[in-house]
Chain A
């Protein structure tokens, strides 16, 4: 493929024989987009041209208050304990990571002096270590200097199981060592192509060692600063009421020039999404509201008022239908959907194919998600270098009928197709959520036309997504034939997103249904692609492997993508928020400003 050619070109850029712009243009000719080309350059050993968002204010402060409205308020302000985005968003005003993600999924230095790359010696050639240089002269809000000790401490803090940190998954398998006061090195056990997880974005927020050192481990809950953050961020802590209000004021010693723009900041919590949209778009009482899970129709109507508008950011969040490869109706050793069974209907690939032909993604987009969704055939939809161009989707009842007829599924007296005494009756479950129930209705209607009888089931979200072993209605038990929900992509890398379908993660009674491969799909070729990708340090080959893995899933119809979902926020017209689909809304809060 274009591998060798690409490699030569990267070398040319490195040696200065070709300039970056020319490289990007050549890549565009290959059908790759600009952000992807720059990404390839970065991992190919060329320092990324740092692309800070155009930030216009020429002095610090003077912007008045910034009022944010989160319809679920932050409940705690220690980033290591954050259970959801709301908590991460609140802590991120005060605490900072080494680097954050921009809209294109590129890293921007925050507390780091520069982004590690092969060229600046930050990335080891074997992919087993990363060296971060810290920005000198950064001070905590209480005046103490920020050093490598703080970074190392955060690793020790989070990886201690007694601390009960939710970021433990990020830190438990790495080693962090201090090189000097302003340099730390992260060591990985295995070559790690995606090294930008620890100390990056919201999970990477760094706590001050001098205030938390005594509260590592079992005493973590007692730290007084859990509720009174002292960070390095653009805003200093003023007040916190869990679930209701987070308030901060400008940090006059902030380490980035001319930032922040606003004098005070607040995140008000509570209420519901629709009225939050109203308070921003219609009345302008607030400047920005998060996570507008509101029907597009309603948003369009509110926008007619003209005080604010919705803003969209693209990440990799995917709403999809998963097919059960085991039999949910047969119990073996006290376990339904056991690996010892095969699904009576879906073991015939024709049924899976037909089902995929019966999901009218365009109707779902048009009538349900509107501007907040895109149709797609793939499970993996970003970042761009990982997106497959080989998959396609189609909605056609006729073709579905044809596929089923050819496979021997004949319509019975009641219009429902059957073969060998097995009827095409499918239980379709999802969590209770307006758009999901509407999607269910659209699918059910189309399936009915093709002679498939769908029974709909909806489970309260708190049960559906619970890890309660005793409950039969959780998504991981999957006691249904098909189920639909959304899996968010929390970082611009497919590793975690794709790994879950590896056969070693099958959810069973034995692992208390903690495995993440809930369709219980086993495919050796897919496993091999994932294993290879996780050890592959060549970015181009690695991307190709993930594309291959995605294509195998598509061919096998393991999941049927319903909608590639965008993140929706609402902002008043004058506000210039800096957002990214790859990270939390407040991850670049220092760059927000208002234009008159």
Chain B
């Protein structure tokens, strides 16, 4: 098992190298300039912007810049942001907790909805409950998050005035009020992300369950005289979860991506909004770092999915 993980990690190295090369080239080829804002400012002579470009190495050839980046990265130096002149790793670490909190909660919410609803719908296919669940799921994943986000703001913040729509990281209250405030402001973004995820996951859980529930061993279990709940939970669900785990794990990076829009709408200071603002200001080191982190997440979650298979289905062995 340990050997397997080690081998997988080693295989990840060349693929990450390849990803970084592609990312870097694409970013270097993209037009734009981190000092664009200076250009129309008559206070700043054009030579200043040109000198800064040279100083930050923007005028060097792409290959030189890539090797320099790679060498620094190998020593754990992520470089510094052209815009805030801060170390990139500090910037990312500052944003990470918020993103994890919001995305984690959304993912938990999605699973809490999807698994029971999907399983229940599969046990009674084409019943009224199944029909309603299906319809809602379709609506759920047809509506993009930026739309539901704005809709929620209009309804819950502006019309009803129940929830704040600007997310603040520093809440001044202490104790229980602090917790309440944190939950209150996270409700809308978590709902938006969670419901979107739950919608597609419900469909997936349902179909995975339907596949398994018709198999002979489930009928055998029933024939043994086991109760319905025991058959479903112990026998059918465990096997049905294998594809679901893959989906959840592989979707994790995509969820980070989907959160970019949501973060922007609700002003959540997460990694997504960092990425957006860096792209807009052509802050290449930050864009590079954030996209690279996303790439690492994809590789990592793939590995996690593979390990979970083994736990769910002992027939799959690590070799």
Chain A residues proximal to chain B, CB less than 8 Å? 69, 72-73, 75-76, 78, 81, 83-84, 161, 164, 166, 168-170, 203, 221, 226-227, 239, 241-245, 247, 266, 268-272, 275, 278-279, 282-283, 285-286, 460-463, 465-468, 471, 473, 475-476, 485-491, 496-497, 499-500, 512, 514-516
With A76-B85, A239-B170, A242-B86 as contacts: A466 and B50 at CB distance below 8 Å = no
**Is the CB of B310 closer than 8 A to any CB of chain A?**
no
Contact (Cβ within 8 A) A465 B50? no
12 contacts between A and B (CB under 8 A): A69-B166, A72-B277, A161-B51, A169-B43, A242-B91, A275-B153, A275-B267, A286-B166, A460-B31, A466-B32, A490-B43, A499-B42
Which positions 62-114 of chain B face chain A at CB distance < 8 Å?
80-81, 83-86, 91, 94-95
**Is the CB of B35 closer than 8 A to any CB of chain A?**
yes
Chain B residues proximal to chain A, CB less than 8 Å? 31-53, 55, 80-81, 83-86, 91, 94-95, 153, 157-158, 161, 164-166, 168-170, 264-267, 269, 273-274, 277, 280-282
Give the Cβ gap from A124 to chain B, nearest Cβ, in Å.
24
Task: Please give 5 more A-B residue pairs, beta carbons under 8 A apart, in addition to A272-B264, A463-B32, A487-B40.
Answer: A78-B85, A241-B269, A275-B153, A462-B36, A468-B32
Contact (Cβ within 8 A) A462 B43? no
Give the Cβ gap from B147 to chain A, nearest Cβ, in Å.
14
Contact (Cβ within 8 A) A514 B46? yes
With A243-B273, A282-B158 as contacts: A75 and B84 at CB distance below 8 Å = yes
Contact (Cβ within 8 A) A491 B85? no
CB-CB < 8 A to B38: which residues of A? 83, 166, 467
Contact (Cβ within 8 A) A466 B51? no
State in angstroms the CA–CA spacing of A467 and B56 once bound together. 14
Contact (Cβ within 8 A) B80 A221? yes
CB-CB < 8 A to A465: which residues of B? 33, 36-37, 39-40
With A285-B164, A468-B32 as contacts: A489 and B42 at CB distance below 8 Å = yes
With A76-B83, A270-B264, A486-B40 as contacts: A514 and B47 at CB distance below 8 Å = yes
CB-CB < 8 A to B35: which residues of A? 83, 467
Give the Cβ gap from A291 to chain B, nearest Cβ, in Å.
13
State in angstroms the CA–CA spacing of A516 and B41 once bound together. 11
State in angstroms the CA–CA spacing of A100 and B44 once bound together. 19
Contact (Cβ within 8 A) B264 A245? no
State in angstroms the CA–CA spacing of A514 and B55 once bound together. 17
CB-CB < 8 A to A72: which residues of B? 277
State in angstroms the CA–CA spacing of A491 and B43 once bound together. 9
CB-CB < 8 A to A490: which residues of B? 41-43
Contact (Cβ within 8 A) A488 B40? yes
State in angstroms the CA–CA spacing of A5 and B33 once bound together. 52
Contact (Cβ within 8 A) A83 B37? yes
Give the Cβ gap from A151 to chain B, nearest Cβ, in Å.
19
- Max chain A Cβ within 10 angstroms of own Cβ: one of B51, B91, B269, B282: B269
Contact (Cβ within 8 A) B36 A169? no
CB-CB < 8 A to A515: which residues of B? 46
Contact (Cβ within 8 A) A170 B31? no
Give the Cβ gap from A189 to chain B, nearest Cβ, in Å.
16
Contact (Cβ within 8 A) B267 A242? no
Partner pick for A227 among B53, B55, B86, CB 8 A cutoff? B86
CB-CB < 8 A to A161: which residues of B? 51
CB-CB < 8 A to A76: which residues of B? 83-86
Rank and list the top 7 A-B pairs by shortest CB-CB distance, nearest first: A244-B269, A466-B33, A514-B46, A75-B84, A496-B42, A462-B32, A242-B84
Contact (Cβ within 8 A) A496 B166? no
State in angstroms the CA–CA spacing of A18 and B146 once bound together. 65
Give the Cβ gap from A239 to chain B, nearest Cβ, in Å.
6
Contact (Cβ within 8 A) B43 A170? yes
Contact (Cβ within 8 A) A271 B166? yes
State in angstroms the CA–CA spacing of A467 and B10 once bound together. 42
Closest B-chain residue to A197, C-beta based?
B43
Contact (Cβ within 8 A) A512 B277? no
CB-CB < 8 A to A463: which residues of B? 31-32
State in angstroms the CA–CA spacing of A282 and B53 once bound together. 42
With A161-B51, A516-B46 as contacts: A462 and B280 at CB distance below 8 Å = yes
Closest B-chain residue to A78, C-beta based?
B85
Give the Cβ gap from A250 to chain B, nearest Cβ, in Å.
14
Contact (Cβ within 8 A) B158 A485? no
Partner pick for A241 among B94, B164, B277, CB 8 A cutoff? B94
CB-CB < 8 A to A460: which residues of B? 31-32
State in angstroms the CA–CA spacing of A81 and B55 once bound together. 14
State in angstroms the CA–CA spacing of A17 and B91 once bound together. 63
Give the Cβ gap from A219 to chain B, nearest Cβ, in Å.
12
Contact (Cβ within 8 A) A166 B48? yes
With A268-B166, A282-B158 as contacts: A500 and B42 at CB distance below 8 Å = yes
Contact (Cβ within 8 A) B166 A467? no
Closest B-chain residue to A485, C-beta based?
B40
CB-CB < 8 A to B277: which residues of A? 72-73, 75, 243, 270
Partner pick for A467 among B49, B80, B280, CB 8 A cutoff? B49
CB-CB < 8 A to A497: which residues of B? 42
Contact (Cβ within 8 A) B166 A462? no
Contact (Cβ within 8 A) B50 A514? yes
CB-CB < 8 A to A471: which residues of B? 31
State in angstroms the CA–CA spacing of A554 and B132 once bound together. 69
Contact (Cβ within 8 A) B170 A245? yes
With A166-B38, A462-B32 as contacts: A283 and B161 at CB distance below 8 Å = yes
CB-CB < 8 A to A499: which residues of B? 42
CB-CB < 8 A to B34: which residues of A? 83
Give the Cβ gap from B181 to chain A, nearest Cβ, in Å.
13
Contact (Cβ within 8 A) A271 B42? no
State in angstroms the CA–CA spacing of A476 and B33 once bound together. 14
State in angstroms the CA–CA spacing of A73 and B83 once bound together. 12
Give the Cβ gap from B33 to chain A, nearest Cβ, in Å.
4
State in angstroms the CA–CA spacing of A466 and B30 once bound together. 12
CB-CB < 8 A to B53: which residues of A? 467
Contact (Cβ within 8 A) B282 A462? yes
CB-CB < 8 A to A488: which residues of B? 40-42
CB-CB < 8 A to B169: which residues of A? 241, 244-245
State in angstroms the CA–CA spacing of A221 and B273 once bound together. 24
With A166-B38, A285-B164, A468-B32 as contacts: A81 and B46 at CB distance below 8 Å = no
Give the Cβ gap from B40 to chain A, nearest Cβ, in Å.
6
Closest A-chain residue to B41, C-beta based?
A490
Contact (Cβ within 8 A) A168 B48? yes
State in angstroms the CA–CA spacing of A279 and B45 once bound together. 37
Closest B-chain residue to A516, C-beta based?
B46
State in angstroms the CA–CA spacing of A272 and B263 once bound together. 12
